[in-house]
Amino acid sequence: MNFENLTVWKRSATLSANLYLYFKKLSDFGFKDQITRSGLSIPSNIAEGMTRTTNPDKHKFLGYAYSSCAELRTQIHIGTKIQYIDPKTSEHWLNETNEISAMIKGLEKAIS
């Protein structure tokens, strides 16, 4: 299965790119680095998992992607509270991460 054809990979890669663009000028480099790295981990782990040859390996990396999605959600909540993220963008990203998480779980079930 080519990971680049997976909707979950496409959506998470788009979300990651949007995070980089949104925080491009943020001077809080610690926050910017953490939130962009967790966002980048989602499609990266999906890609790595889907290129593995065994189902246990695929599950392991999809689990990492799922956890990175939870990490990203946490950072979105905090970023909103400290006014780095506007409420509308926050709501959109939280919805997107919830849907991506569900898609990752669906992919895990499909592999089993």
For the domain that residue 38 is a member of, what is the CATH number? 1.20.1440.60
Q: What is the pLDDT of residue 44?
A: 98
Task: State yes or no: pLDDT of 91 exceeds 80.
Answer: yes
Q: How many domains does the chain have?
A: 1
Rounded Cα distance between 45 and 42, Å, is 5
Query: Which residue reads 């919805």 in tokens?
Result: 95
Rounded Cα–Cα distance for residues 67 and 4 (Å): 20
Domain membership of residue 40 as a residue range: 3-111
Is residue 65 packed enough to be buried (19+ CB in 10 Å), middle (13-18) or exposed (0-12)?
Answer: buried
Helix or strand holding residue 38 (H, E): helix 29-50
Q: What are phi and psi of 54, to 5 degrees?
A: -110, 150
Helix 29-50 vs helix 55-81: crossing angle, to nearest 10: 160
Global pTM reads: 0.95
Q: pLDDT tens for residues 25-71?
A: 999 999 999 999 999 999 999 999 999 999 999 999 999 999 999 99
Cα 92 → chain centroid: 13
| Tally of CB atoms within 10 A around 84 | 19
Given pLDDT bands bounded at 50, 70 and 90, which one contains residue 112?
confident
What integer pLDDT is reported at residue 69 of this predicted model?
98
- Please provide the average confidence, as pLDDT, over all residues in the chain: 97
Q: Is the pLDDT of residue 17 over 80?
A: yes
